[in-house]
Each structure stands twice: as structure tokens, then as C-alpha cells.
Amino acid sequence: MYERLKGFRDFFPPEMAARRAVVDTVEDVARRYGFREIDTPRLEPAEMWTDKAGDDIVDELYAFEDRGGRHVTLTPELTPTVARMVVDRGQELPKPIKFFSTRPFWRYEAVQQGRFREFHQTNADIFGTSEPTADAEVLAFAGDALTELGLDGGDFEFRVSHRDILGNLIESFESDVNTREAIRAVDKRAKVDDDEYLGLLAEAGLSRADARSFDDLIADDDLDAVAEAGNEAVNAAVDNLRAVLDAAADFGVREHCEVSLATARGLDYYTGVVFECFDSTGEVSRSVFGGGRYDDLIGSFGGQPTPAVGVAPGHATLHLLCQRAGVYPDEAVSTDYYVLSVGDTRPETLDVARALRTRGHVVETDLNDRGFGSQLSYADGVNAETVVVVGERDLSEGNVTVKNMESGDETTAPFDSFPGEHERPTYDDFV
């Protein structure tokens, strides 16, 4: 007997039915916003990460040498792949380019609640516009997707910040600082104690006093105060963030956004507005997902400089949030009809089943040569709404029996009118 790998999951039908409902909802909202589905290789040249990505990603790669001696890796995220695609064909595509896709990614990391080694994300990205409206549309897509899942304003919040506020504000205090390191320190702010956090800022080159003043500013989330304290670049970033929030208001998603300057996002490639979605109740303590602007990535992949902004809801953490809020779909299969055969009636049973399937319904029939009781029990097990009994005796009178599985009520119906003219015949149509 073989064992599944740790951090990988089997989704049996009931779990999968619920996951499918969530993915369909998120993708449906993406389609409505004009994001277009793409599909991408699960395996890529490892250099796409080892050349540029942070050590935390590189250390978690499922990388290996293939039979042709290529250094390849299972993709740990989508962004470098879509960057490669935009470099390849971006010139021919009308801008903005709006892609979405749902697929698994892989990272060799510690398995915990809501975190697996194989994990599923719906990525949505816009390439070819640096307008604040585009950042806001990404927020609006994410907000609508969550709302459509049944979550409301009390369930989640988008903590929105701007990479250039943090970086330039730090430099306003001390021009000789290691900005990247300081931003990483801010990213760890909520996860380490005060002393360690100030220590990290000190390592990045900020004096204890400056670190304290800097932290007071970002803790207050007061954009006026930040603009006043910061240099010209800080002011430009504050203006950009405000423009995004104004556009978010026009999209109807402003109510879900709050300025949160300490939100830095771990990834190095972000360049502008960044945001993370959190459970408002705090019960799900981790970030549910995040996104932001990454204007330099396409250029760094050898393409024409192409601004970009995106978001990637992860389905494991989304599951936790929906579950906490009581809106995760039922983990159960559903069946419209079970057509039950009694005696030598397979041809007629399959005629009825076929006609119902042609109308788009989910229909099962006996595949085990079972008796009445055993078939009825199976029908119940797959949550059949209606059971149609095709029996020899009924048939000799031109009838079938129609049973409502919820109430247990049953009645006879003419064989010829099941389904006949009916699109979705039920017990109620024949009493």
C-alpha cells in the first residue's frame, strides 16, 4: 500500500464539490471583469527563480534535473511565467492584457493549517497600464469575489499600502539605509517582538530614535502626517495611493480597504500599491491572500518595460476564511435523478435516463444489477432529488413511479411524459 506525500491532498467528491463551487465563483467574477483565462506549464527552467527570487522561495523549490539534463522546477508561483509570456507575445496583444488562471503551485515548506506543499491559487493580473484605475480594478475583483462567496464587510478587510512610501520614508530619515532590508523588517513587524523589530531596522541602518519615529508614523496610518514627514518621493507615493483609493471608491470597493502602511508584502518585486486581505475578526490570523503592483518585472525578464498589477487568492486560506464566516459551500454531491430499474427494464430505464441527461441533468442508474432496496439506498447516498422507478408491472400499464426523496411522496406518471415535454419533471408535476 502506498502513501500520499505529506503536504499533498486527495479531494474526494464531497470536498471537491465545495472547492469547485468556490473556484467557479472566483473565476466567474474574474471573467465578468474581462480577465481572460490562460493555462501555463507546471514545469519551468529553474533559472526563472534561482536568478532572481528571494532565498525563501529558492530554498523551497521542487527543482531537479530532467532526462535531458535541464535544470527545471515545479513552479512555486505564477508571476515569472506570465512575465515570460508577456515578454514572448506582449507586443502583439492589445493592452491592457488581463489574464486569470486557477492551478496548483508547489513549495517545499512546513505543512500547517491552510498551508500545503501543493496549493491552489486563482491568479488575476493586468499588464500594460500604470493607471490607478487598474490597481483599483484588481481590488474590486477581489472584493466582488469575496462578496459573491457570501462574505460581507464585517468578514474581511484589504490592508493597503505602497512600497514607495515605506522605502522613501525610511530614506527620509537616513539616506544611507538598506531599504530592502528595512522593508523586510516592516514585513515582519507583526510577527516578532518590538525589540527584535527595532533591531532589524537598526541592522538595516536606522538609528534607534529614527526607527522609533518611523514606526510611529507608519503605525498611525495618517497619510497627511506621512506626506509631511517624507521627501518628494514619499509625497508622490501618497498621491498614488490616494488616487487608487479614489478609484476604488468609484468601483464600490473602497469600504473594504483600509490604509495600513506596515503592510509590506514579502516579495521583492512589488513596486507600488500593495495589499493583503485579512479576516476582520482575526480568527484566521494569517493573511488570506495579497497582491500589488510590480512594474519592473517584465523589463527585468528582457521585455519592453510593462507596468503590471495583480492578485492571487489562495484557496486553502480562502477556505479557512469562508469556513470561519459560515459561508463555505456544503461538502456534498448532488444528483437530480436516479432512474431505478425493477425487473427486465434496462432499455426503458436507459431511455428515461438518456432523455433526462439530454436536458442537462445529473442522472444515475443501476450499474450493479441490484434490487429495489439496494438501489434506493444508493440513490439516497448520492442525495438524489427524484427517483424514477421503471418497473415491469408499471410499464405494462404505460407508467413509471416518481418519488420525491425529501418528502418520500410518490405518484405514477405516464412513461411517455417522463420527461416528455418537461424540462425538469418532478413529483409535483404529476399529482
Which residue numbers belong to the known binding site for L-histidine?
A: 77-79, 107, 121, 125, 265, 269-270
From 62-70, 179-187, 195-203, 213-221, give the range in contact with a second copy by CB under 8 A: 62-70
CB of 100 to a second copy, least distance (A): 9
The CA distance from 6 to 428, in Å, is 50
68 scored as a contact of a second copy (CB under 8 A): yes
112 scored as a contact of a second copy (CB under 8 A): no
277 φ, ψ (degrees, to nearest 5) = -95, 130
List the end-to-end C-alpha distance of the chain, in Å, as a whole number. Answer: 53
369 scored as a contact of a second copy (CB under 8 A): yes
Strand partners, 64: 72
Binding mask 17-36 for a second copy (x = CB under 8 A): x-xx-------xx-xxxx-x
Kindly tell me the burial class for residue 69, based on how many C-beta atoms sit within 10 Å of its own C-beta (0-12, 13-18, 19 or more).
exposed
User: Could you say which residues in the range 144-203 bind a second copy, by CB under 8 A?
Assistant: 144
360 scored as a contact of a second copy (CB under 8 A): yes
User: Could you say which residues in the range 316-345 bind a second copy, by CB under 8 A?
Assistant: 333, 335
385 scored as a contact of a second copy (CB under 8 A): no
The CA distance from 144 to 8, in Å, is 30
131 scored as a contact of a second copy (CB under 8 A): yes
Q: How far is CA 140 from CA 30, 95, 125, in A?
A: 10, 19, 13
44 scored as a contact of a second copy (CB under 8 A): yes
User: 53, 102, 124, 137: which one contacts a second copy (CB under 8 A)?
Assistant: 137
User: Could you say which residues in the range 90-109 bind a second copy, by CB under 8 A?
Assistant: 93-96, 98-99, 104, 106, 108
Q: For a second copy, which is the closer residue by CB, 46 or 182? A: 46
| Other CB atoms within 10 A of residue 105 CB | 19
The CA distance from 71 to 82, in Å, is 20
User: 208, 220, 228, 252: which one contacts a second copy (CB under 8 A)?
Assistant: 252
Q: Is 100 left (phi over 0), alpha (psi -120 to 50) or beta?
A: beta
